[in-house]
A = this chain, B = another copy of it.
Amino acid sequence: MTKQIHLNAFAQHSVSPHAIGLWKHPDHEGDAHGSLSYWLKLSEILERGTFDTLFLADVLGIYDVYEGSSRAALEQAVQVPAHDPTVIVSALAQATKHLGFAVTVSATYASPYKLARLFSTLDHVTDGRIAWNVVTGYLESEARNLGLAGRIQHDERYDRADEFLDVVYKLWEQSWERDAIVKDVQKGRYIDSSKVHPIRHEGKYFDVPGIHLVDPSPQRTPVLFQAGASSRGRDFAAKHAEAIFTDTQNSKEAVPALRSFTADLRRRLQWNGRRPDALKVFPGFVPVVGSTEEEAWRHYEELKSYVNYDGSAALLSGHAGFDFSTLDPDEYVENLPSGAIQSTFESYTSTKPDAKWTVRDAILHHGIGAGSTPIVGTPEQIADRLETLVVDGGADGFNVGQTVTLRSIETFVDEVVPELRARSLFRETYEDGTLRERLFGKGQRELRDDHYGRRVTIEKGDVFA
């Protein structure tokens, strides 16, 4: 049987978060994101397309690295407004039956005790369809507004996140035994208190002595998504993540690069005592579909004509932590000093590797997909590329980006999904079960036994202590 892929729709609770300037497009509906009807319509499309999840990215800050100002980010609505993505989940869960929800919450600015409660509640109301996308934050402006003097250093963010996860595993996996709720009317006990345990966590960053506030939810620990490309980030993923979101490129080298990325991850999984299939790898991309290749490229050029240079550069400057206003837009990328800045552009120039790319070209291209590589072509060509990334690159599925919302994701569902189904790469219908069961097989409601979170233990004393 052909490998079955997974599909997540990449979204964010903002106007046009990953297509900068496309708010001007007459068919763009993203300015309705503040109302539930927009999200209900998206969820209906995704459930029709038997998607695995609606993936909700998030930031808690503003893109103010470009020109040292928020001006460009504000004018182009670059991930601002940034509404709270956790709020909409219950309405969408009520309106759907199978769609999962992967919600981004930064571990850097949360309390593990409250975050554990939030996700357990979400897992209850979605009946086991919730994932947590674990991020540690990259925007200095987040840190300042949340009371930290500056952004915590990259590696320390991961150290803290590591302990954060220890705490939440203890709360989710260890605090309540599965059968703690007894509802024993005869004995007059709702909960068997001997089966609820204070976690007594004392660490470098957190002290959490008490019990978890929520009884075990269908999945206990939400499905854990993560995106991390650095070595430290990959180690973190290999220890904790069940799904990792990564970038891919369009060049010929992109397939071996993805294969070596997935192979590297599988090795790191092994070092963590996990089987090679314990982590799903989801490259992100943006479909640009046409009935012919030429029409698809015309569509690409039309999209690019809506992209705003300042806004796209503001987004890229925030991601890279470098002010791209210091570069000449007419300079050729190949003439830039080699190193971080040039490599930032590599994923864009790889889309048309034979062309000479200016900084302007690359920045405008970045505006379509916000770093997720556009895949431009007919439904067959796009399915070909995805199949190659799966078969030769080792991808387990994809995060599908949007351009003109909601039209672009609907086009993907109506035109590319049938092609994937015809190749037996993607499900025709949903089976019942939790989100984790859909990713890891029937019966796998909770973390797999090879996951680190299953091995975290607490000293089980009674509630008197």
User: Which residues in A have some Cβ–Cβ distance to B below 8 Å?
Assistant: 13, 15, 21, 23-24, 31, 34-36, 40, 60-62, 64, 67-71, 74-77, 80-84, 86-95, 109, 111, 113-114, 117-118, 120-122, 124-125, 127, 141, 144-147, 183, 185, 188-193, 196, 198, 206-211, 213-215, 217, 308, 462-464
Contacts and interface: CB of A to CB of B under 8 A. Distances in A.
Given A69-B463, A70-B463, A75-B192, 11 more contacts: A60-B213, A70-B211, A75-B190, A76-B190, A83-B124, A84-B117, A88-B125, A91-B125, A114-B146, A145-B210, A147-B208
Contact of A84 (B75, B118, B127, B196): B118
Contact of A464 (B69, B188, B192): B69
Given A83-B120, A210-B62, A193 B34 contact: no
A189 B40 CA distance: 27
Copies of this chain, count: 2
A183 B71 contact: no
B207 A84 contact: no
19 contacts: A21-B188, A24-B185, A31-B190, A36-B125, A67-B464, A70-B211, A71-B462, A71-B464, A74-B463, A75-B193, A77-B190, A81-B213, A84-B114, A87-B121, A88-B125, A91-B94, A114-B146, A144-B209, A147-B208
Contact of A36 (B71, B86, B90, B191): B90
A188 B308 contact: yes
Contact of A215 (B34, B91, B95): B34
Contacts of A89: 87, 90
B60 A190 contact: no
Nearest to A212: B81
Nearest to A77: B190
B94 A60 contact: no
Contacts of A95: 94
Given A77-B190, A90-B89, A210 B36 contact: no
Contacts of A93: 36, 91
A83 B31 CA distance: 32
A303 to B, nearest CB: 15
B36 A145 contact: no
Nearest to A149: B207
A126 to B, nearest CB: 9
Contacts of A124: 34-35, 83
